[in-house]
Amino acid sequence: MNGWKIAAFSNDEIRGVGKSGLTNSNGEEYFMINCFGNNETGEDMHFQFYVPEADSIYNLFESFKIIPNTVLGDPDSLIILNYHAQIGVSKTFPPGWSWLSINFQQQDMSIQNILGNLYLREGDYIKNHSKSSMFFNNHGWFGSLETISPAESYRIYLGGPNEYKLAAYPAYPEDFPITVNIGWNWIGFPSRGPIDITSALSTLSPIEGDMISSQNNSSTFYDGYGWYGDLTTLYPLEGYILKSSHSATLIYPDTGQIPLAIQEQKFSQTGNQWQIDPADYQYTGQVTVIVNKDNYSLGSAGNVVLAYVGDELRGIALGQYFLPSSHWIYDVMIYSNDANGEQVRFKYCNNDNEIWLNYTEHVTFESDMIVGSARDPFELKDYSVSGRYHFDLESSLVLYPNPTSGVLNIEVSSPNMVSEVIGIYDSRGAQVLKKTVVLTAGQAYLQLDLRNLDSGIYYTSLEMNKSQWHSIILTEWTCYKMMDAELS
């Protein structure tokens, strides 16, 4: 380290220089710096490091308050200073509420510094699970929330759109273990890249009923199955809340990636006007629904359950197939600006937006409520009809063998000659096979060659007589099967 130097600074004023050339009893080279100042109570100092081979100066992360006539460290108990390359952080905020966490660190973690590059307005507001602060013109942030931590999540209200950009040091998950208590926890995500939910929460040893939610999505843990829901991946700069039935310590794996620029997300469906902006609402709750009609469970990946308070849309959920119970389930995230008391009712709509079932069952909203689960869902059964409706059970369908390692046999019976469209989709919803055939009245037999498909779970969709059947097929796996006669 010949020629290497380290310097101490108070603000931009140099207060001491240390040179290389010293070695301790362990053979480690180190620096000794004499720091100077005029303040009897001490001064905050940060450090820079010079490497002559690169002719470069590097900012070191740690800073200390240096008090006159005191000693920090000794040759055999060294103070370690670290260099982290700064990286760019970017996040777009819509007007209204956003859930936020940070995956970076700076020497000054005060709320004034971390949020200082936002365009702030009088009344902008931020809170965590126990503290809050409000922004005032000509003063800044004021309140009990004074510092921001990568281990926590926050909800921030901004009076207008904002774009957050800064250069900062990356946070490392091992430096920010998160204490998880029984009940709800507002958890941060100090990771430099996205992580799938199973890997991200692996140190929790989750059990049945544990739940995690973002502003837009959620998932619940089921014994023997794992995490189920539409929250499948955790992303940097997003805020999360975790409901745990036991105490634990959460440490995310280190992805080694740089932070991402995250844009706000909205639910929208092509061909209709359904859209909810989560930023309009402060509170959320979860209702897991099963839709029944005359003892038949309704569902498909394209159908939706909608939640309303009066005539205002407050929640939307697409169907998801839950293998352990062989039913289509709808996880409805419900939004509100009242912490409790609003009456929430539900509607079911098919993927053609032609058939509506208006259900009389309702729930009373409470912030962070969890109503139902995929194993024991909240049942919708008492309905009135809007739009064209016909429930066709005259035709039948049989698929075998299931699971299959090659050819899938299909037996179909229909009272009339029909044109049938067969589609097979992978677990992500991508179509991997489509076939159209014309069947005569009575019993018909078809075969599909699936030998080119990888082992796994696939969904079949058969459209016939303006009706739909949805089934699960497995290639070389244990069989779960559902046949759901759908609306036409």
Task: Clarify whether residues 97 and 228 are in a common domain.
Answer: yes
Residue 213 resides in a domain: yes
Three-state DSSP at 173 gives helix
Q: How confident is the model at residue 59, as a pLDDT?
A: 79
**Boundary-marking domain end, from 246, 265, 284:** 265
Residue 371 resides in a domain: yes
| Residue in the structure block whose two tokens are 């937006």 | 353
Within 10 angstroms of residue 291's Cβ, the number of other Cβ atoms is 25
Task: Clarify whether residues 131 and 59 are in a common domain.
Answer: no
**Boundary-marking domain end, from 335, 358, 387:** 387
How many alpha carbons fall within 13 Å on the CB side of residue 105? 22
Task: Clarify whether residues 172 and 218 are in a common domain.
Answer: yes
Residue 76 resides in a domain: no
Residue 53 resides in a domain: yes
Q: 25 is in which domain, residue-wise? A: 5-66
Task: Clarify whether residues 138 and 259 are in a common domain.
Answer: yes
CATH of the domain at 480: 2.60.40.1930
Residue 315 resides in a domain: yes
pTM confidence score: 0.63
**Boundary-marking domain end, from 222, 242, 265:** 265
Task: Clarify whether residues 335 and 428 are in a common domain.
Answer: no
The CB-based long-range contact list for 144-147 (8 Å cut-off, 24+ gap) reads: 145/111, 146/110, 146/111, 147/109, 147/110, 147/111
Residue 79 resides in a domain: no
Both tokens of residue 173? 């998950």
Cα torsion for 379, 385, 390, 391, to the nearest 10°? 20
Task: Clarify whether residues 227 and 299 are in a common domain.
Answer: no
Task: Clarify whether residues 229 and 275 are in a common domain.
Answer: no
Q: How confident is the model at residue 452, as a pLDDT?
A: 81
Task: Clarify whether residues 379 and 412 are in a common domain.
Answer: no
Task: Clarify whether residues 220 and 287 are in a common domain.
Answer: no
Longest CA pairwise span in the chain (Å): 99
Q: Taking the chain (488 residues) in consecutive chunks of 10 residues, what is each chunk's mean pLDDT?
A: 84 86 85 88 88 78 85 86 74 91 87 90 91 90 91 94 85 90 93 90 92 92 90 92 94 66 36 70 91 74 86 88 81 91 90 72 92 90 65 53 75 66 74 78 73 76 60 49 35
CATH of the domain at 295: 2.60.40
Task: Clarify whether residues 151 and 59 are in a common domain.
Answer: no
Q: How many Å apart are CA 474 and CA 455, to the nearest integer?
A: 7
Residue 250 resides in a domain: yes
> CA angle at residue 244 from 239 to 248, to 5 degrees?
95
Q: How many Å apart are CA 240 and CA 245, to the nearest integer?
A: 17
Contacts for 128 with CB less than 8 Å, ≥ 6 apart: 145, 152, 153, 154, 155, 186
**Count of domains for the chain:** 4
Q: How many Å separate Cα 210 from the centre of its chain?
A: 15
Residue 141 resides in a domain: yes
Task: Clarify whether residues 88 and 227 are in a common domain.
Answer: yes
Task: Clarify whether residues 253 and 132 are in a common domain.
Answer: yes
